[in-house]
Amino acid sequence: MKNLLDGYDLKNLTIGVLGGHSALDVCEGAKKLGFKTLAVCQKGREKTYADYYKTRDGKGCVDEVILVDKFADIVKPEVQAELRKRNTIFIHNRYFWVYCNFTEIENDFNVPIYGTRHMVRLEERDVEHNQYWLLEKAGIRIPKMIASPAEIDRPVIVKVNEATRTYERAFFVAVSQEDYKKKSDEMIASGQITKEGLDKAVIEEFIIGAQVNFNYFYSPLSGELELMGTDARRQTSLDGFLRLNANVQKELLDSGYNPTMIETGHFAVTIKESLVEKAYEIGEKFVKATQEFAKPGIIGPFALQGAVSSENGREELVIFDVSMRIPGSPGTRFTPYTSYLWGRELSYGERIAMEIKSAVENAQLDRILT
């Protein structure tokens, strides 16, 4: 870590981010704490950062934009040189890992990253010691895994990616082997998914419960876990489909229509107070597991995404997805949990900036950067 900070002016840091996902959240929070901000944007996708939210006349939150032909170019030596020249600390988000090569980021990106750079790879479902493995090691309930379509004995969700945008979800629900085959064949024929993608898909029990994303922040500086907020996903075309009456839904399904589950955003939700302790318990278990099995463990933001099931007269949190970096849900600030702790609402961007500022002031950057 010391080598990555060589030549840095720690009194003149820039907070950098890839232009997408949660970049505005990061930049707004960084500006509140007095940092300069920078977004690396792909040509043709830069106007949000270079125009609409550019800092000017006391408005905006993005000070500077670096344009690249494609997001993956961020690892080019000349781009890295520009970032280092500005004393940039990079905040990784989903875009960073979707559009870039894991190995190049882990080994060749010579810019300090806030958070644990090697852990985001574990979000992938086809790598060893992935998120499911960590959740099991943590003792957190996950859905039952179904080894093959022949073993489907309950509602399942098939986690397969799109054919063209392999980072986007083309998940579908099935209730039997026959249903699985019918839907997957139709989706392959329509070009939504590929046979290769289906072969790599995870089949897991579909948890029938209220879906909630539990968004956390772990500070190595204080050793404390914070619940930043709770939210749920807006998905197209599922959200629109659910607004139709049952007769129309049935007609569409009978005609071969399969609702898609592509995320378009999130909305803030709250949980009843009797579930707050359970939310903290699974968060603490996950932090402990990462510290034991993926050293140095999680740093800063992460999310455990799942559902609250009600079985045998008791409620249980079941987790089916993990974000090992900042979640793309800026609406979490509109839940009350940061206010309960800090006396005011905090965005992820501001909480990250607070941590970086504290680490600078106390000469502890090595504890939060990788």
pLDDT at 170: 86
pLDDT at 237: 93
pLDDT at 312: 84
* Backbone φ and ψ of 73, nearest 5°: -70, -5
Give one word for 16, left, alpha or beta, with left for phi > 0 and alpha for psi -120 to 50: beta
* Backbone φ and ψ of 143, nearest 5°: -65, 155
**In terms of Cα–Cα distance, which of 254, 267, 275, 273 is closest to 329?**
267
> Does pLDDT of 128 surpass 90?
no
| Three-point CA angle 24, 96, 265, nearest 5° | 50
Structure tokens at 226: 């914070």
pLDDT at 262: 86
pLDDT band for 2, please (50, 70, 90 cuts): low
Q: Where are the alpha helices (DSSP H) in the chain?
A: 23-32, 47, 77-85, 94-98, 102-108, 131-138, 177-189, 195-200, 238-242, 246-254, 276-293, 337-342, 348-361
> Does pLDDT of 1 surpass 70?
no
pLDDT at 263: 87
Residues 145, 202 contacting (CB under 8 angstroms): yes
Residues 213, 305 contacting (CB under 8 angstroms): yes
List domains and CATH numbers for the chain.
14-114+347-367 (3.40.50.20), 131-141+208-335 (3.30.470.20), 152-205 (no CATH)
- The whole-number average pLDDT for the span 189-198 is 94
% of the chain surpassing 70 pLDDT: 99
The answer to which of 55-64, 214-223, 249-258, 353-362 has the lowest mean pLDDT is: 249-258
Q: In what order do the strands lie in the sheet with 224-237?
A: 261-269, 224-237, 210-219, 300-311, 314-323
> Does pLDDT of 9 surpass 90?
yes
The answer to which of 57-66, 99-108, 265-274, 334-343 has the lowest mean pLDDT is: 99-108
The answer to which of 2-6, 46-50, 201-205, 232-236 has the lowest mean pLDDT is: 2-6
pLDDT band for 313, please (50, 70, 90 cuts): confident
- DSSP-derived letter for residue 57 is T
- The whole-number average pLDDT for the span 236-256 is 94
pLDDT at 260: 85
User: Of residues 120 and 25, which shows the higher confidence score?
Assistant: 25
pTM of the model: 0.95
> Does pLDDT of 55 surpass 80?
yes
Structure tokens at 198: 């289906």
Residues 285, 138 contacting (CB under 8 angstroms): yes
% of the chain surpassing 90 pLDDT: 88
Non-local (6+) Cβ contacts of 77 within 8 A are: none
pLDDT band for 32, please (50, 70, 90 cuts): very high
**In terms of Cα–Cα distance, which of 121, 120, 41 is closest to 74?**
41
The answer to which of 20-34, 86-100, 279-293 has the lowest mean pLDDT is: 86-100
Residues 257-309: pLDDT tens digits? 888 888 899 999 999 999 999 999 999 999 999 999 999 999 999 999 999 99
The answer to which of 162-176, 229-243, 293-307 has the lowest mean pLDDT is: 162-176
> Does pLDDT of 115 surpass 70?
yes
Between β-strands 224-237 and 172-174, what pairing exists: parallel, antiparallel or unpaired?
A: unpaired
Residue with tokens 């949990």: 337
**In terms of Cα–Cα distance, which of 90, 87, 112, 337 is closest to 212?**
337
The span from the CA of 114 to the CA of 111, in Å, is 10
Concatenated DSSP letters of 121-181: GGGSTTSTT-HHHHHHHHT---PPEESSGGG--S-EEEE-B-SSSTTSB--EEESSHHHHH
- The whole-number average pLDDT for the span 39-68 is 98
Residues 27, 5 contacting (CB under 8 angstroms): no
- The whole-number average pLDDT for the span 24-48 is 98
Largest CA distance in the chain: 66
